[in-house]
Amino acid sequence: MNGVIIVDKPAGFTSHDVVNRMRRILGQHSVGHLGTLDPLATGVLPLVTGSLTRLAQFYTTSEKTYEGVIRFGFATDTYDADGEPVESDLGTANVGTAAPGCPEGRRPDLSLTDLSLETLQNLATRFLGLIEQVPPPFSAKKIHGVPAYKLARKRKEVVLKPVQVEIKEFVILAVEGERANFRARVASGTYMRSVAHEMGQLVGSGAHLESLRRTAVAEFEITQAHTLEEIEGHIKDHLKVCDSEPVGKDHANLCESEPGGTPGEEPAVSRHEGITDLFVHPRQLLPQFPSVTADDATTARIRAGRPVNLPDLSRARQVKVFHGQRELVAIATRVAGTLFHPKIVFPADTV
């Protein structure tokens, strides 16, 4: 089964945990995700199944939108609420100090008593645009081929070089005591944990990311997301219908299973049919690429890996080719004029 489904990732799960859970729910191994979320974070985690896992190459630089809470007063070694408070030279928990791997010696500009909505809103503007950002020591960034988090867990020194990231929007929405609610829209590779940590340095009190929720990534939004429990329950409800006495031909076709299944196992086809209405419509994928509907002859040529003429799309660099309304046949690349060559060809059973 090929498709894209948006999961509302729960806190405490790694992105790989969600992938493994979905593999069990769907009864198939070919499942991947389109962008890692930290265990602390919740929200939009797009999953791709079947041959559509090959779409991942188009989402490596996707823009992301977050909402979250920064807590001032102390920093942590992970830059978020999962970490341990960092001790300063004065022996107090993380007052004006940097966690390992972040430049020290910055002069505090504010104090915790100065926190106000206006103050933090002004401070947030310093992070807008292209900036140099030091990744958290507990991150997947590699040092001589070793992920930084593995070194950090062993209490070894972690020194990461600043990288250029882009923060397109960073708005402090409200301040309640030592907590600031924010919304941010960022380019790929931006760590909101580092933003929280550096704001704490500027304030002089230390800070960490207390919570984070991803509300959008690329074209996918939180309104499209489903919890793991909702997805699993949806399939179980469908299988209950299939276990009931068939009523008419349509019901029988809907619940028909593939021949040769293992006795006692749930039918693969009925399990998949029970989830297709939760998948993102294929026409909504990669909206930056124009779509074209191919006739039977053109579809056959594309499936054979042969170039085709698409005269209406002479200005496009890449296009999505469909057969009918839902069947994604290929992503094709223009090679000359109106001649397109299939870059990726998908099997005929795309959801």
What's the pLDDT band for 264 if we cut at 50, 70, 90? very low
What's the pLDDT band for 255 if we cut at 50, 70, 90? low
Diameter over CA atoms, the chain: 77
The span from the CA of 157 to the CA of 315, in Å, is 52
> Which own/partner pairs from 53-56 qualify as long-range (CB within 8 Å, at least 24 positions apart)?
54/344, 54/346, 55/4, 55/285, 55/286, 55/331, 55/344, 56/32
3-state secondary structure of 203: helix
Candidates 8, 17, 38, 349; catalytic one:
38
- Please give the average per-residue pLDDT across 107-123, as a whole number: 75
Tell me if the pTM is above 0.75.
yes
- Give the pLDDT of residue 155: 76
What's the pLDDT band for 87 if we cut at 50, 70, 90? low
- Give the pLDDT of residue 138: 78
- 77 catalytic, yes or no? no
- Give the pLDDT of residue 315: 84
With beta carbons less than 8 A apart as the criterion, state whether 103 and 134 touch. yes
244 pLDDT exceeds 90? Answer: no
The span from the CA of 170 to the CA of 273, in Å, is 41
The span from the CA of 317 to the CA of 295, in Å, is 21
With beta carbons less than 8 A apart as the criterion, state whether 24 and 33 touch. no
> Which of 41-50, 97-106, 156-165, 233-242 is modeled with the greatest confidence?
41-50
- Give the pLDDT of residue 239: 67
CA 324, 326, 332, 338 torsion: positive or negative?
Answer: positive
Q: What percent of the chain has pLDDT over 70?
A: 80
- Give the pLDDT of residue 261: 43
What's the pLDDT band for 102 if we cut at 50, 70, 90? very low
The span from the CA of 120 to the CA of 207, in Å, is 13
- Give the pLDDT of residue 314: 74
